[in-house]
Structure 1
Amino acid sequence: MALLAISVFLAYYFHAVLMLGTVFSHFFYIPIILTALWWEKRSILVAAFLGGLIVVSTLLYMPDLLTLNDYGRALMFIVIAFVVSSLSEQIKGREREVKRQRDLMQRYLDVAGVLFVVIGTDRTIRLINRHGCELLGYREEELLGKDWFDTVVPEALREARRRVFDEAIARKAALPEQREKPVVTRSGDELILAWQDTVFTGDDGRPVGLIGSGADITDRIQAEEALRESHDEANLYLDIMTHDINNANAVALGYADLLAETLSGREREMVQRLRAGVDRSIEIIQNVTTIRRLHSEETAVKPVDLDAIVRAEIAHHPGARITYEERPIRVMADDLLSEVFANLIGNAEKFGDPEVEIAVRVEERNDLVEVEVEDTGPGVDDAVKPGLFTRFSRGTSSRSGKGLGLYITRMLVERYGGQVWVDDRVPGRPECGAAFRFTLLRCDRPWESSRPPAPATGRVVTARP
């Protein structure tokens, strides 16, 4: 209204007082453009009023100077008002659409169960969702425009995190993997977030900011730490128990051997049963130790000398009839592979009679190595075979153990990427002995044996003639 009043005064002053038809009407574009930006199409009325003001003022005070130029100028006012108002409508429409999309995105982010934040290239918070505000203990207006690092990053980590942020903006790419990042809440509590972010750019390709998301994993980290401490404490107790039981078993075995040498008859038999019980205790401790190592990170798969492992295990059974043809082959396994042979050869020796014969064979089959441990013992019934390698599965023999040995064997073989199963040594005749077979992945790396190579024809290792 002030600009229109000025326009009326200028028209009167130049026409009535100065009697001039100058270009003062150029001032009229200012109210026309402003009203077009503010009121859109209603600005055409203002333009029509100002155009009419030019014509009427000229007719009243300077009718002899009225020309087509004055009518054209009045028409130009209306054209300018129409064009500017149309552009204003488009701009406001786009602004409304952007606002609608922003509000929609904000609603999406608000229902998310994790923190979402947009950090500008100037390190300030441009947008943050409701969960992020609740997590950090702030209201949205308290965070918007604040420096992210000064506000929520622990003081000791601020400089390092700023450098990482600046590097990500400079190379237009953030680290792709998820990281654990601590943040500080308004109350001073420190939370750990599973953090992931990405840099986004504008239409010109320049970085606009960084979008980050973080899930609160503080409770999980604390629970894992407590579990780790409990695990370490339990392992300490197991180590102490295993050490003390092994010492007690060693003493018991020593005395049992001394008694066996001095006694005879039924007394000697009782001592041998005592010794068998101690051996069983040693086996249990060994199984527990094996399972613990199997579930630890110490058992990383690597190339191992299969031939050396087989020969070493045969040497632990000097009283058994074991035949084995040496084969210099390396497989993917670890130090626990010897437990597989210890269980299979030990079972064949334990469940067979004193004259049981055991054969270990190794065959290469493409990328696999198939190992067989056969015996002439009582064999395995067909009804028992399907569940023989499951936990606590026992055979039908009165001397069957607790079912852990073959379970450990299966766990180890499967860990190495192989399979294990049991067949009859003579197909269709279980009473003629069992044939335990398993596969391992062959290692194709160059052979580097630590011992002199075996003769080309192969050599048969026999534990007892």
Structure 2
Amino acid sequence: MTTLTEHQRVAIIMTLLAISIFLTYYFHAILMLGTVFSHFFYIPIILTALWWEKRSVPVAIFLGGLVVVSSLLYQPELLTLNDYGRALMFVVIAFVVASLSEQLKGREQEVKRQRDLMQRYLDVAGVLFAVIGTDHTIRLVNRHGCELLGYREEELLGKDWFDTLVPGALREARRRAFDEAIARKAALPGQREHPVVTRSGNELILAWQDTVLTGDDDRPTGIIGSGADITDRIRAEEGLRKAHDEANLYLDIMTHDINNANAVALGYADLLETTLGAGKEREMIRRLKAGVDRSIEIIQNVTTIRRLHSRETATKPVDLDAVARAEIAHHPGARIAYQGRSVGVMADDLLSEVFANLIGNSVKFGDPGVEIAIRVEESDDQVEVSIEDTGPGVPDAVKPTLFARFAPGKNSRSGKGLGLYITRTLIERYGGRVWVDDRVPGRPECGAAFRFTLPRSGRRQKPPAPPATSTACPLVTARP
């Protein structure tokens, strides 16, 4: 709707007043009628009141005076109370319409102020805001949205959202989803990816969320949505995913080839060991095998760390006794005492790595005759496992950092500390904790006691029936 300028309004009122004067003259002087066609006078009075409020009162007084004066000049004997009443009515109408106009303009200004305030809020937001009507047309879009899409505001308002901004392959599906949301008066919850096409033809991916707008009658009037540009993030994530997959491929190839090389090296070392007698050569073979074993351990640690970072934290009930027995069986030459106790804990398939690292640690750093004891203690909500050995122990100065990544070990034969770091990472992921004590309190030289806790599973497992020749709590011992 075209808005009249101030000059145009003044010209209209002056024209209407001139017509009023002419009609008064024409009816009294030419037609010699006692009645003036005064209903026409309400038009300039009402228009003046709508446009300039109280300024309509002087116009009403002028027109009322025009009626009275004209009657006095041309036919004074016909002047009646009705003429004075009509003049007074002009003034009353001017006051009433002016008052209503002031109230209406006040409300319009308040609505405009609130709308401008909302528009400023939307304009300073760092995301796209848009209101889409039930007819799919764009009713509102903020400044950032225009900049993001490459359009001016007037180029978007009134345009079909889907035809203008949604990629062709997704257009009909998005249109149906929009109509379904309007029909059920509820949009899909949460954020979702929402591709849009800019004016230049580039496709952007928005993190989109929206809600249905309703009017006073609770009928849907459209949808207001907001979208943050996540195109760069999505592309970066895709690049990282490809790089991660490529790195894993290289690691898989490397692990496979190194394990094959280690197996061949160990095979030839075993053959050499059987053909060589005691002496310097045999000691060299032993060191060669120790180096290959170290390589195997490194590969195993790398594989475990990959498995740690490639899965979400999701624990499940695990039979602690079965895991402990399986790892004891991997050390047939070690002196390991284990008081068997079947108990369920919350962990996952990597729990075996904890026992492998701690038992292997005791075997590696202990003397040939080192003795290892595994104990399990239960409480209402957790299980405590202790792996004690009669090895050289852990100095007090080393204990606080023993489980840190790449922390120095407890003696000159210590590795890079990855095994204990993996152990701590796993235990903490399960919701427990791990620490090291002296096997004999206050005497580190008498051996170490590695302890860790695990959440107990809700259902206690029934212990397996022992063999006929076993006691109720069999003692599992591996001897050379």
Q: TM-score range by the shorter chain?
A: over 0.9
What residue in structure 2 maps to residue 287 of structure 1?
Answer: 301
8 Å contact from structure 1 (residues 299, 334) kept in 2: no
Q: 1:202 to 1:453 in 2, by over 3 A?
A: farther
**Correspondence for 1:245:** 258
Stretch deviating more after TM superposition (14-23 or 206-215):
14-23
Q: CA deviation at 1:447?
A: 4.1
Query: 2:143 matched to 1:161?
Result: no
Identity between Structure 1 and Structure 2 (%):
82
Offset at residue 57 of structure 1 (A): 3.0
Find the counterpart in structure 2 of residue 34 from structure 1: 47
Match of 1:328 in 2: 342
Change (3 A) 1:42 1:310: same
Match of 2:400 among 382, 386, 390: 386
Secondary structure, aligned partner of 2:155? helix
Name the aligned partner's letter for residue 116 of structure 2.
D
Question: Aligned-pair distance for 1:188?
Answer: 0.7
Q: TM-score, normalised by structure 2?
A: 0.90
Partners in 2 of 1:36 and 1:269 — Cα distance? 114
Deviations 1:346-398 (A, max 9, x none): 01111111221111122222222211111111110001000000011122422
Q: Could you say which residue in structure 1 is the equivalent of 2:245?
A: 232
Q: For residue 444 of structure 2, what is the aligned residue in structure 1?
A: 430
- Structure 1 residues 256-335: aligned runs within 5 Å: 256-266=269-279, 267-297=281-311, 300-335=314-349
Give the equivalent residue in structure 1 for 2:10.
Answer: none
Aligned to 2:228: 215
Q: 1:94-113 counterparts in 2 under 5 A?
A: 94-113=107-126
User: How far apart are 1:322 and its partner, in Å?
Assistant: 1.3
Task: Choose which of 16, 30, 53 in structure 2 pairs with 1:3.
Answer: 16
Contact 1:174 1:197 in 2 (8 A): yes
2:83 is equivalent to residue 70 of structure 1: yes
Q: Which runs of 5+ in 2 are unaligned?
A: 1-13
Would you say the 8 A contact 2:205–2:230 is kept in 1? yes
* Contiguous gaps of at least 5 residues in structure 1: none
Q: For 2:24 and 2:473, locate their aligned partners in 1 and report how far apart those are by CA, in whole Å.
A: 120
Of 284-293 and 328-337, the range deviating more from structure 2? 328-337
Sort the Cα spacing of 1:456 and 1:57 in 2 relative to 1 into closer, same or farther, 3 A. farther
Query: Which residue of the partner structure matches residue 7 of structure 2?
Result: none
- Do 2:342 and 2:462's aligned partners in 1 also have CA atoms closer than 8 Å? no
CA, structure 1 residues 416+456, in 2 after alignment: closer, same or farther (shift >3 Å)?
A: farther
Q: Which amino acid aligns with 2:457?
A: C
Q: How does 1:14-25 map to 2 (within 5 A)?
A: 14-16=27-29, 24-25=37-38
User: What's the secondary structure of 2:261's corresponding residue?
Assistant: helix
Q: Deviations over 1:139-172 (max 9, x none)?
A: 1111111111111111111122222223333344
Q: What is residue 98 of structure 2 aligned with on the other side?
A: 85
- Tell me the secondary structure at the aligned position of residue 422 of structure 1: strand
The normalised TM-score by structure 1 is 0.93
Q: Kindly state the Cα deviation for residue 195 of structure 1 after the two structures are TM-superposed.
A: 1.7
The one-letter code sitting in structure 2 at the alignment partner of 1:268 is: R
User: Does the residue aligned with 1:35 lie in a helix, a strand or coil?
Assistant: helix
Residue 371 of structure 1, aligned match among 372, 385, 395: 385
Aligned CA distance change for structure 1 residues 204 and 23 (closer, same or farther; 3 Å): farther
Give the match's secondary structure for 1:212: strand
Name the residue aligned to 1:463: 478
Shift of 1:99: 2.6
Correspondence for 2:9:
none
Q: 1:119 aligns with which of 113, 120, 132?
A: 132
2:193/2:207 contact within 8 Å kept: yes
Alignment partner of 1:265: what SS?
A: coil
Q: Which moved more, 1:59-68 or 1:33-42?
A: 59-68
